[in-house]
Structure 1
Amino acid sequence: MGGAFIKGLHQSGGYSVTACDVDEAVLETISPYCDRTTTELSVAAESEVVVLALKPDLVGAILSDLELTADQTLLSIAAGVSTELLESKTEATVVRIMPNLAAEYGMMAAAVTESTVTDEIRAILDAVGEFVEVSESKMDIATAVNGSGPAFVFYLINAMAEAGVDGGLSPEDARTLAAQTFKGAAETVLQSDRSIEDLIDAVCSPKGTTIEGMDVLWDSDVEAEVGEAVAAAEERSKELAQDAADE
Protein backbone atom coordinates (compact mmCIF):
# COMPACT_ATOMS: atom_id res chain seq x y z
CA MET A 1 0.00 0.00 0.00
CA GLY A 2 2.84 2.34 0.79
CA GLY A 3 4.35 1.77 -2.64
CA ALA A 4 1.02 2.40 -4.36
CA PHE A 5 0.62 5.65 -2.43
CA ILE A 6 4.12 6.77 -3.42
CA LYS A 7 3.51 5.98 -7.09
CA GLY A 8 0.24 7.91 -7.04
CA LEU A 9 1.87 10.98 -5.49
CA HIS A 10 4.68 10.78 -8.03
CA GLN A 11 2.15 10.63 -10.86
CA SER A 12 0.37 13.71 -9.51
CA GLY A 13 3.60 15.68 -9.81
CA GLY A 14 2.93 17.95 -6.87
CA TYR A 15 4.94 16.39 -4.06
CA SER A 16 8.51 15.70 -3.00
CA VAL A 17 8.65 12.16 -1.64
CA THR A 18 11.27 10.53 0.58
CA ALA A 19 10.84 6.78 1.07
CA CYS A 20 12.21 5.06 4.15
CA ASP A 21 12.53 1.29 4.66
CA VAL A 22 15.01 -1.04 6.30
CA ASP A 23 14.87 -3.27 3.23
CA GLU A 24 17.09 -1.81 0.52
CA ALA A 25 15.53 -4.11 -2.08
CA VAL A 26 12.15 -2.47 -1.41
CA LEU A 27 13.72 0.97 -1.74
CA GLU A 28 15.29 0.00 -5.04
CA THR A 29 11.88 -1.02 -6.37
CA ILE A 30 10.23 2.32 -5.56
CA SER A 31 13.22 4.61 -6.07
CA PRO A 32 12.09 5.71 -9.58
CA TYR A 33 9.04 7.30 -7.94
CA CYS A 34 10.85 9.09 -5.10
CA ASP A 35 13.03 12.15 -4.79
CA ARG A 36 15.22 10.20 -2.41
CA THR A 37 15.29 6.95 -0.45
CA THR A 38 16.79 6.19 2.93
CA THR A 39 17.09 3.51 5.59
CA GLU A 40 17.39 6.17 8.32
CA LEU A 41 14.25 7.07 10.27
CA SER A 42 15.76 10.41 11.24
CA VAL A 43 15.82 11.43 7.59
CA ALA A 44 12.17 10.48 7.06
CA ALA A 45 11.29 12.41 10.22
CA GLU A 46 12.32 15.66 8.54
CA SER A 47 9.20 15.70 6.35
CA GLU A 48 6.18 17.91 7.05
CA VAL A 49 3.91 14.90 6.55
CA VAL A 50 5.19 11.47 7.57
CA VAL A 51 3.22 8.54 6.15
CA LEU A 52 3.19 5.43 8.32
CA ALA A 53 2.58 2.45 6.01
CA LEU A 54 3.29 -0.52 8.25
CA LYS A 55 1.81 -3.74 9.53
CA PRO A 56 -0.04 -2.94 12.76
CA ASP A 57 2.30 -4.95 14.99
CA LEU A 58 5.28 -2.81 13.93
CA VAL A 59 3.72 0.57 14.70
CA GLY A 60 4.72 0.77 18.36
CA ALA A 61 8.37 -0.06 17.74
CA ILE A 62 8.71 2.43 14.88
CA LEU A 63 6.95 5.28 16.66
CA SER A 64 9.20 4.87 19.69
CA ASP A 65 12.14 5.74 17.44
CA LEU A 66 10.38 8.31 15.26
CA GLU A 67 10.74 11.74 16.79
CA LEU A 68 8.12 14.13 15.43
CA THR A 69 7.02 17.57 16.60
CA ALA A 70 3.64 19.22 17.01
CA ASP A 71 4.25 21.07 13.72
CA GLN A 72 4.28 17.81 11.76
CA THR A 73 1.52 15.44 10.65
CA LEU A 74 1.58 11.67 10.98
CA LEU A 75 -0.58 10.08 8.29
CA SER A 76 -1.25 6.47 9.30
CA ILE A 77 -2.22 3.69 6.89
CA ALA A 78 -1.78 0.98 9.55
CA ALA A 79 -4.97 -1.09 9.54
CA GLY A 80 -6.81 -1.23 12.82
CA VAL A 81 -4.47 1.08 14.76
CA SER A 82 -6.62 3.74 16.40
CA THR A 83 -5.99 7.47 16.34
CA GLU A 84 -6.02 7.46 20.14
CA LEU A 85 -3.21 4.90 20.30
CA LEU A 86 -1.15 6.77 17.71
CA GLU A 87 -1.63 10.08 19.53
CA SER A 88 -0.30 8.51 22.73
CA LYS A 89 2.99 7.76 20.99
CA THR A 90 3.74 10.99 19.09
CA GLU A 91 3.49 14.76 19.42
CA ALA A 92 2.54 15.12 15.76
CA THR A 93 -1.00 15.71 14.51
CA VAL A 94 -2.37 12.24 13.74
CA VAL A 95 -4.60 11.57 10.74
CA ARG A 96 -5.71 8.01 10.10
CA ILE A 97 -6.62 6.89 6.60
CA MET A 98 -7.53 3.68 4.85
CA PRO A 99 -6.68 3.95 1.15
CA ASN A 100 -6.46 1.16 -1.42
CA LEU A 101 -4.13 -0.02 -4.16
CA ALA A 102 -5.77 2.09 -6.86
CA ALA A 103 -3.85 5.05 -5.40
CA GLU A 104 -1.08 3.95 -7.77
CA TYR A 105 -3.22 5.08 -10.72
CA GLY A 106 -4.79 8.13 -9.09
CA MET A 107 -8.07 6.23 -8.64
CA MET A 108 -7.92 5.47 -4.92
CA ALA A 109 -10.95 5.18 -2.69
CA ALA A 110 -10.08 6.19 0.88
CA ALA A 111 -11.64 6.85 4.25
CA VAL A 112 -10.10 9.43 6.59
CA THR A 113 -10.84 10.33 10.20
CA GLU A 114 -13.08 13.39 10.06
CA SER A 115 -12.10 14.66 13.51
CA THR A 116 -8.41 15.05 12.68
CA VAL A 117 -8.13 15.54 8.90
CA THR A 118 -6.52 18.79 7.78
CA ASP A 119 -6.71 20.72 4.51
CA GLU A 120 -3.14 19.65 3.81
CA ILE A 121 -4.13 15.99 4.01
CA ARG A 122 -7.27 16.60 1.96
CA ALA A 123 -5.07 17.98 -0.82
CA ILE A 124 -2.80 14.92 -0.69
CA LEU A 125 -5.75 12.54 -0.86
CA ASP A 126 -7.31 14.53 -3.70
CA ALA A 127 -4.10 14.01 -5.67
CA VAL A 128 -4.47 10.22 -5.66
CA GLY A 129 -8.23 9.67 -5.84
CA GLU A 130 -11.48 10.09 -3.94
CA PHE A 131 -12.01 10.06 -0.19
CA VAL A 132 -14.76 10.28 2.40
CA GLU A 133 -14.49 11.59 5.95
CA VAL A 134 -15.82 9.22 8.59
CA SER A 135 -15.82 8.95 12.36
CA GLU A 136 -13.15 6.88 14.07
CA SER A 137 -15.79 4.26 14.92
CA LYS A 138 -16.45 3.68 11.19
CA MET A 139 -12.84 3.05 10.18
CA ASP A 140 -13.07 -0.73 10.60
CA ILE A 141 -16.02 -1.05 8.21
CA ALA A 142 -14.34 1.39 5.82
CA THR A 143 -11.24 -0.81 5.94
CA ALA A 144 -13.41 -3.75 4.89
CA VAL A 145 -15.28 -1.93 2.11
CA ASN A 146 -12.57 0.06 0.35
CA GLY A 147 -9.36 -1.37 1.81
CA SER A 148 -10.15 -5.06 1.32
CA GLY A 149 -12.76 -4.38 -1.36
CA PRO A 150 -10.40 -4.42 -4.36
CA ALA A 151 -9.64 -8.10 -3.77
CA PHE A 152 -13.36 -8.87 -3.70
CA VAL A 153 -13.84 -6.95 -6.97
CA PHE A 154 -10.85 -8.71 -8.57
CA TYR A 155 -12.50 -12.00 -7.65
CA LEU A 156 -15.76 -10.97 -9.33
CA ILE A 157 -13.98 -9.64 -12.42
CA ASN A 158 -12.18 -12.96 -12.72
CA ALA A 159 -15.46 -14.86 -12.38
CA MET A 160 -17.00 -12.84 -15.23
CA ALA A 161 -13.88 -13.25 -17.36
CA GLU A 162 -13.83 -17.01 -16.82
CA ALA A 163 -17.49 -17.17 -17.83
CA GLY A 164 -16.54 -15.38 -21.03
CA VAL A 165 -13.73 -17.85 -21.70
CA ASP A 166 -16.12 -20.74 -21.07
CA GLY A 167 -18.39 -19.18 -23.70
CA GLY A 168 -15.59 -19.03 -26.30
CA LEU A 169 -13.82 -15.68 -25.77
CA SER A 170 -10.05 -15.60 -25.61
CA PRO A 171 -8.65 -15.05 -22.07
CA GLU A 172 -7.27 -11.67 -23.12
CA ASP A 173 -10.55 -10.46 -24.62
CA ALA A 174 -12.60 -11.76 -21.70
CA ARG A 175 -10.29 -10.04 -19.18
CA THR A 176 -10.51 -6.73 -21.05
CA LEU A 177 -14.28 -6.85 -21.41
CA ALA A 178 -14.88 -7.85 -17.79
CA ALA A 179 -12.46 -5.33 -16.28
CA GLN A 180 -13.59 -2.43 -18.46
CA THR A 181 -17.21 -3.27 -17.69
CA PHE A 182 -16.53 -3.00 -13.96
CA LYS A 183 -14.61 0.24 -14.52
CA GLY A 184 -17.39 1.75 -16.62
CA ALA A 185 -20.13 0.60 -14.25
CA ALA A 186 -18.27 2.08 -11.28
CA GLU A 187 -17.84 5.42 -13.05
CA THR A 188 -21.53 5.40 -13.94
CA VAL A 189 -22.44 4.98 -10.27
CA LEU A 190 -20.14 7.86 -9.31
CA GLN A 191 -21.34 10.20 -12.05
CA SER A 192 -25.08 9.45 -11.98
CA ASP A 193 -27.64 10.85 -9.56
CA ARG A 194 -29.72 7.70 -9.92
CA SER A 195 -29.74 4.94 -7.31
CA ILE A 196 -27.94 1.69 -8.06
CA GLU A 197 -31.31 -0.06 -8.19
CA ASP A 198 -32.48 2.41 -10.86
CA LEU A 199 -29.28 1.86 -12.85
CA ILE A 200 -29.89 -1.89 -12.80
CA ASP A 201 -33.43 -1.32 -14.06
CA ALA A 202 -32.07 0.89 -16.85
CA VAL A 203 -30.02 -2.02 -18.19
CA CYS A 204 -32.77 -4.61 -17.76
CA SER A 205 -35.04 -4.48 -20.79
CA PRO A 206 -38.20 -6.59 -20.40
CA LYS A 207 -37.62 -10.10 -21.79
CA GLY A 208 -34.02 -9.11 -22.61
CA THR A 209 -30.70 -10.79 -21.85
CA THR A 210 -29.78 -8.79 -18.76
CA ILE A 211 -32.92 -9.48 -16.79
CA GLU A 212 -32.47 -13.19 -17.40
CA GLY A 213 -29.06 -13.00 -15.74
CA MET A 214 -30.30 -10.71 -12.97
CA ASP A 215 -33.06 -13.17 -12.13
CA VAL A 216 -30.33 -15.72 -11.39
CA LEU A 217 -28.50 -13.25 -9.14
CA TRP A 218 -31.67 -12.12 -7.36
CA ASP A 219 -32.53 -15.76 -6.61
CA SER A 220 -28.99 -16.52 -5.35
CA ASP A 221 -27.10 -15.86 -2.11
CA VAL A 222 -24.49 -13.63 -3.78
CA GLU A 223 -25.50 -10.49 -1.90
CA ALA A 224 -25.35 -12.29 1.44
CA GLU A 225 -21.99 -13.88 0.62
CA VAL A 226 -20.48 -10.51 -0.30
CA GLY A 227 -21.87 -9.10 2.93
CA GLU A 228 -20.22 -11.91 4.88
CA ALA A 229 -16.89 -11.24 3.18
CA VAL A 230 -17.07 -7.57 4.16
CA ALA A 231 -18.10 -8.47 7.71
CA ALA A 232 -15.18 -10.90 8.05
CA ALA A 233 -12.74 -8.22 6.92
CA GLU A 234 -14.28 -5.71 9.35
CA GLU A 235 -13.95 -8.16 12.24
CA ARG A 236 -10.29 -8.73 11.41
CA SER A 237 -9.69 -4.98 11.45
CA LYS A 238 -11.19 -4.85 14.94
CA GLU A 239 -8.94 -7.72 16.04
CA LEU A 240 -5.89 -5.87 14.72
CA ALA A 241 -6.96 -2.81 16.69
CA GLN A 242 -7.16 -4.88 19.87
CA ASP A 243 -3.79 -6.52 19.18
CA ALA A 244 -2.20 -3.10 18.70
CA ALA A 245 -3.74 -1.82 21.91
CA ASP A 246 -2.37 -4.83 23.81
CA GLU A 247 1.19 -4.31 22.57
Structure 2
Amino acid sequence: MTRVSVIGCGNMGGAFLKGLARTGSHHLTAIDLDPEALAGVEADASETTDDIDAAKDADIVVLAVKPDIAEAVLEDLDLSADQTLVTLAAGVSRAFVADRTDASVVRIMPNLAAETGNMAAAAADENLTDEVRGLLDDLGEFVEIDEGLMDITTAVNGSGPAFVFYLIDAMKQAGVDGGLEPDQAETLAAQTFKGAAETVLRDDRSVDELIDAVCSPNGTTIEGMEVLWDSDADEAVIDAVAAAEERSQELAEAFDDE
Protein backbone atom coordinates (compact mmCIF):
# COMPACT_ATOMS: atom_id res chain seq x y z
CA MET A 1 0.00 0.00 0.00
CA THR A 2 1.50 3.34 -1.10
CA ARG A 3 1.83 5.91 1.65
CA VAL A 4 0.68 9.30 0.40
CA SER A 5 0.70 12.56 2.36
CA VAL A 6 -1.31 15.51 1.09
CA ILE A 7 -0.14 18.90 2.35
CA GLY A 8 -2.96 21.41 1.98
CA CYS A 9 -6.47 19.98 2.17
CA GLY A 10 -8.49 22.79 0.62
CA ASN A 11 -10.48 22.42 -2.59
CA MET A 12 -7.81 20.81 -4.78
CA GLY A 13 -5.90 18.95 -2.11
CA GLY A 14 -9.14 17.68 -0.62
CA ALA A 15 -10.39 16.51 -4.01
CA PHE A 16 -7.09 14.74 -4.66
CA LEU A 17 -7.22 12.97 -1.31
CA LYS A 18 -10.89 11.97 -1.60
CA GLY A 19 -10.29 10.59 -5.07
CA LEU A 20 -7.42 8.44 -3.86
CA ALA A 21 -9.52 7.24 -0.92
CA ARG A 22 -12.06 5.79 -3.37
CA THR A 23 -9.51 3.21 -4.52
CA GLY A 24 -8.60 1.87 -1.09
CA SER A 25 -5.04 1.39 -2.35
CA HIS A 26 -3.28 4.08 -0.35
CA HIS A 27 -2.49 5.01 3.21
CA LEU A 28 -3.48 8.67 3.20
CA THR A 29 -2.22 11.32 5.60
CA ALA A 30 -3.93 14.69 5.45
CA ILE A 31 -1.76 17.61 6.64
CA ASP A 32 -3.13 21.11 7.17
CA LEU A 33 -2.98 23.85 9.80
CA ASP A 34 -6.70 24.57 9.34
CA PRO A 35 -8.86 22.35 11.58
CA GLU A 36 -11.86 22.87 9.29
CA ALA A 37 -9.89 21.64 6.27
CA LEU A 38 -8.84 18.52 8.17
CA ALA A 39 -12.40 17.93 9.36
CA GLY A 40 -13.53 18.06 5.74
CA VAL A 41 -11.32 15.11 4.76
CA GLU A 42 -11.30 13.19 8.03
CA ALA A 43 -13.69 10.54 6.74
CA ASP A 44 -11.42 9.84 3.75
CA ALA A 45 -7.94 10.08 5.28
CA SER A 46 -6.17 7.31 7.15
CA GLU A 47 -4.95 10.00 9.53
CA THR A 48 -5.09 13.78 9.86
CA THR A 49 -2.53 16.10 11.42
CA ASP A 50 -1.28 19.68 11.52
CA ASP A 51 2.32 18.45 11.81
CA ILE A 52 4.18 18.74 8.52
CA ASP A 53 6.83 16.32 9.80
CA ALA A 54 4.32 13.52 9.24
CA ALA A 55 5.23 13.75 5.55
CA LYS A 56 8.59 12.14 6.34
CA ASP A 57 6.89 8.72 6.42
CA ALA A 58 5.29 9.02 2.96
CA ASP A 59 6.39 7.47 -0.32
CA ILE A 60 4.69 10.29 -2.24
CA VAL A 61 4.05 13.77 -0.84
CA VAL A 62 1.49 15.95 -2.62
CA LEU A 63 2.05 19.69 -2.25
CA ALA A 64 -1.42 21.20 -2.72
CA VAL A 65 -1.01 24.62 -1.16
CA LYS A 66 -1.62 28.01 -2.76
CA PRO A 67 1.32 29.31 -4.81
CA ASP A 68 1.95 32.28 -2.52
CA ILE A 69 2.71 30.05 0.48
CA ALA A 70 4.52 27.26 -1.38
CA GLU A 71 7.98 28.58 -0.56
CA ALA A 72 7.22 28.94 3.15
CA VAL A 73 5.85 25.39 3.31
CA LEU A 74 8.89 24.03 1.47
CA GLU A 75 11.17 25.67 4.04
CA ASP A 76 9.49 23.60 6.77
CA LEU A 77 9.32 20.40 4.73
CA ASP A 78 12.19 17.97 5.29
CA LEU A 79 12.09 15.15 2.73
CA SER A 80 14.71 12.63 1.63
CA ALA A 81 16.04 11.73 -1.81
CA ASP A 82 14.07 8.48 -1.91
CA GLN A 83 10.74 10.32 -1.62
CA THR A 84 8.71 11.89 -4.44
CA LEU A 85 7.17 15.34 -4.07
CA VAL A 86 4.26 16.01 -6.43
CA THR A 87 3.52 19.72 -6.72
CA LEU A 88 0.09 21.01 -7.80
CA ALA A 89 0.85 24.70 -7.23
CA ALA A 90 -0.14 26.75 -10.28
CA GLY A 91 2.67 28.83 -11.76
CA VAL A 92 5.36 27.32 -9.53
CA SER A 93 8.01 25.63 -11.66
CA ARG A 94 9.42 22.20 -10.96
CA ALA A 95 12.90 23.73 -10.68
CA PHE A 96 11.72 26.23 -8.03
CA VAL A 97 10.42 23.37 -5.90
CA ALA A 98 13.39 21.08 -6.63
CA ASP A 99 15.83 23.75 -5.41
CA ARG A 100 14.13 23.62 -2.01
CA THR A 101 13.89 19.89 -1.35
CA ASP A 102 15.98 16.73 -1.58
CA ALA A 103 13.00 14.75 -2.86
CA SER A 104 12.45 13.94 -6.53
CA VAL A 105 9.96 16.53 -7.82
CA VAL A 106 7.10 15.97 -10.27
CA ARG A 107 4.84 18.79 -11.40
CA ILE A 108 1.23 18.19 -12.36
CA MET A 109 -1.89 20.25 -12.99
CA PRO A 110 -5.03 18.32 -12.00
CA ASN A 111 -8.59 19.53 -11.52
CA LEU A 112 -11.40 19.13 -9.01
CA ALA A 113 -12.90 16.11 -10.75
CA ALA A 114 -10.14 14.09 -9.07
CA GLU A 115 -12.65 13.64 -6.26
CA THR A 116 -14.92 11.48 -8.42
CA GLY A 117 -12.19 9.72 -10.41
CA ASN A 118 -12.89 11.88 -13.47
CA MET A 119 -9.86 14.17 -13.28
CA ALA A 120 -8.20 15.64 -16.32
CA ALA A 121 -4.54 16.30 -15.55
CA ALA A 122 -1.32 17.29 -17.24
CA ALA A 123 1.96 15.94 -15.90
CA ALA A 124 5.34 17.42 -16.77
CA ASP A 125 7.40 14.52 -18.11
CA GLU A 126 10.60 15.25 -16.14
CA ASN A 127 11.03 12.84 -13.20
CA LEU A 128 7.62 11.30 -13.87
CA THR A 129 7.65 7.76 -12.48
CA ASP A 130 5.38 4.76 -12.93
CA GLU A 131 4.38 5.15 -9.28
CA VAL A 132 3.08 8.66 -9.93
CA ARG A 133 1.47 7.52 -13.19
CA GLY A 134 -0.41 4.90 -11.19
CA LEU A 135 -1.57 7.57 -8.77
CA LEU A 136 -2.89 9.70 -11.63
CA ASP A 137 -4.58 6.69 -13.25
CA ASP A 138 -6.52 6.21 -10.02
CA LEU A 139 -7.89 9.74 -10.35
CA GLY A 140 -8.86 9.91 -14.04
CA GLU A 141 -7.14 10.74 -17.31
CA PHE A 142 -3.78 12.47 -17.74
CA VAL A 143 -1.40 13.50 -20.49
CA GLU A 144 2.37 13.82 -20.29
CA ILE A 145 3.72 17.15 -21.53
CA ASP A 146 6.83 19.28 -21.63
CA GLU A 147 6.74 21.65 -18.65
CA GLY A 148 6.83 24.60 -21.04
CA LEU A 149 3.19 23.80 -21.89
CA MET A 150 2.02 23.90 -18.29
CA ASP A 151 0.49 27.39 -18.54
CA ILE A 152 -1.90 26.39 -21.32
CA THR A 153 -2.82 23.13 -19.59
CA THR A 154 -3.46 25.09 -16.40
CA ALA A 155 -5.99 27.09 -18.40
CA VAL A 156 -7.57 24.19 -20.32
CA ASN A 157 -7.99 21.53 -17.65
CA GLY A 158 -7.19 23.40 -14.44
CA SER A 159 -9.51 26.36 -14.99
CA GLY A 160 -11.67 24.54 -17.54
CA PRO A 161 -14.19 23.04 -15.08
CA ALA A 162 -15.41 26.54 -14.19
CA PHE A 163 -15.98 27.30 -17.87
CA VAL A 164 -17.91 24.05 -18.27
CA PHE A 165 -19.99 24.80 -15.14
CA TYR A 166 -20.88 28.13 -16.75
CA LEU A 167 -22.06 26.42 -19.93
CA ILE A 168 -24.00 23.79 -17.99
CA ASP A 169 -25.75 26.56 -16.10
CA ALA A 170 -26.67 28.26 -19.38
CA MET A 171 -28.22 25.03 -20.71
CA LYS A 172 -29.98 24.52 -17.39
CA GLN A 173 -31.45 28.03 -17.59
CA ALA A 174 -32.71 27.34 -21.10
CA GLY A 175 -34.48 24.26 -19.76
CA VAL A 176 -36.02 26.22 -16.88
CA ASP A 177 -37.16 28.93 -19.30
CA GLY A 178 -38.86 26.19 -21.31
CA GLY A 179 -40.79 24.90 -18.30
CA LEU A 180 -38.56 22.30 -16.62
CA GLU A 181 -38.03 22.32 -12.87
CA PRO A 182 -34.52 23.56 -11.95
CA ASP A 183 -33.40 20.16 -10.64
CA GLN A 184 -34.71 18.44 -13.77
CA ALA A 185 -32.95 20.91 -16.06
CA GLU A 186 -29.69 20.65 -14.11
CA THR A 187 -29.69 16.85 -14.24
CA LEU A 188 -30.34 16.81 -17.97
CA ALA A 189 -27.75 19.50 -18.74
CA ALA A 190 -25.01 18.03 -16.53
CA GLN A 191 -25.55 14.46 -17.70
CA THR A 192 -25.55 15.63 -21.31
CA PHE A 193 -22.11 17.21 -20.82
CA LYS A 194 -20.90 14.08 -19.03
CA GLY A 195 -22.14 11.77 -21.78
CA ALA A 196 -20.84 13.98 -24.57
CA ALA A 197 -17.40 14.17 -22.94
CA GLU A 198 -17.27 10.40 -22.51
CA THR A 199 -18.20 9.98 -26.16
CA VAL A 200 -15.35 12.26 -27.26
CA LEU A 201 -12.89 10.26 -25.16
CA ARG A 202 -14.07 6.80 -26.27
CA ASP A 203 -15.19 7.33 -29.88
CA ASP A 204 -12.72 7.29 -32.75
CA ARG A 205 -14.61 10.00 -34.63
CA SER A 206 -13.51 13.65 -34.48
CA VAL A 207 -15.59 16.28 -32.69
CA ASP A 208 -16.81 17.62 -36.03
CA GLU A 209 -17.87 14.12 -37.07
CA LEU A 210 -19.74 13.66 -33.79
CA ILE A 211 -21.57 16.95 -34.32
CA ASP A 212 -22.60 15.75 -37.77
CA ALA A 213 -23.82 12.49 -36.25
CA VAL A 214 -26.24 14.37 -33.98
CA CYS A 215 -27.38 16.83 -36.66
CA SER A 216 -30.09 15.19 -38.74
CA PRO A 217 -30.94 17.15 -41.91
CA ASN A 218 -33.77 19.60 -41.21
CA GLY A 219 -33.84 18.42 -37.58
CA THR A 220 -33.78 20.26 -34.28
CA THR A 221 -30.04 20.05 -33.60
CA ILE A 222 -28.95 21.64 -36.85
CA GLU A 223 -31.19 24.62 -36.09
CA GLY A 224 -29.45 25.14 -32.76
CA MET A 225 -26.01 24.59 -34.26
CA GLU A 226 -26.67 27.25 -36.87
CA VAL A 227 -27.15 29.74 -34.02
CA LEU A 228 -23.86 28.69 -32.43
CA TRP A 229 -21.97 28.74 -35.73
CA ASP A 230 -23.25 32.26 -36.41
CA SER A 231 -22.27 33.46 -32.93
CA ASP A 232 -18.96 34.25 -31.25
CA ALA A 233 -19.45 31.49 -28.64
CA ASP A 234 -16.31 29.63 -29.67
CA GLU A 235 -14.25 32.83 -29.61
CA ALA A 236 -15.51 33.65 -26.11
CA VAL A 237 -14.37 30.25 -24.83
CA ILE A 238 -10.99 30.63 -26.54
CA ASP A 239 -10.62 34.10 -24.99
CA ALA A 240 -11.47 32.72 -21.52
CA VAL A 241 -8.79 30.04 -21.85
CA ALA A 242 -6.29 32.61 -23.13
CA ALA A 243 -6.99 34.89 -20.15
CA ALA A 244 -6.44 32.02 -17.72
CA GLU A 245 -3.22 31.08 -19.52
CA GLU A 246 -1.97 34.66 -19.30
CA ARG A 247 -2.62 34.71 -15.56
CA SER A 248 -0.72 31.43 -15.16
CA GLN A 249 2.20 32.99 -17.00
CA GLU A 250 2.10 36.00 -14.66
CA LEU A 251 2.21 33.73 -11.63
CA ALA A 252 5.15 31.82 -13.12
CA GLU A 253 7.06 35.04 -13.82
CA ALA A 254 6.69 36.09 -10.19
CA PHE A 255 8.43 32.92 -9.08
CA ASP A 256 11.05 33.14 -11.83
CA ASP A 257 12.05 36.56 -10.47
CA GLU A 258 12.82 35.12 -7.03
Which of the five TM-score ranges fits, normalised by the shorter chain? over 0.9
**1:41 corresponds to which residue?**
52
**1:181 corresponds to which residue?**
192
Structure 1 residue identity aligned to 2:172? A
Contact 1:71 1:92 in 2 (8 A): yes
**2:172 corresponds to which residue?**
161
CA distance in 2, matches of 1:29, 1:160: 31
Return the offset for 1:12: 1.0
Return the offset for 1:232: 0.5
CA distance in 2, matches of 1:38, 1:172: 38
Greater mean deviation of Cα atoms: 224-233 or 45-54: 45-54
Return the offset for 1:24: 1.4
CA distance in 2, matches of 1:46, 1:242: 33
**2:108 corresponds to which residue?**
97
Per-residue CA distance 1:157-189 (angstroms, 9 max, x = gap): 000000010011111110011000000000000
Per-residue CA distance 1:33-58 (angstroms, 9 max, x = gap): 00101111111232111100011111
- Give TM-score, length-normalised by structure 1: 0.98
Return the offset for 1:244: 2.4
Per-residue CA distance 1:122-155 (angstroms, 9 max, x = gap): 0000011110000000111001000000000000
Counterpart selection for 1:55 from 46, 59, 66: 66
CA distance in 2, matches of 1:21, 1:246: 28
4+ residue runs over 4 A deviation: none
**1:212 corresponds to which residue?**
223
**2:254 corresponds to which residue?**
243
CA distance in 1, matches of 2:168, 2:183: 13
1:191-230 to structure 2, matched below 5 A, reads 191-230=202-241
What root-mean-square deviation, in Å, do the aligned CA atoms of Structure 1 and Structure 2 show?
A: 0.8
- Give TM-score, length-normalised by structure 2: 0.94
Gaps of 5+ in 1: none
Return the offset for 1:65: 1.1
Identity between Structure 1 and Structure 2 (%): 62
Match status 1:170 vs 2:177: no
CA distance in 2, matches of 1:38, 1:44: 10
Match status 1:141 vs 2:141: no
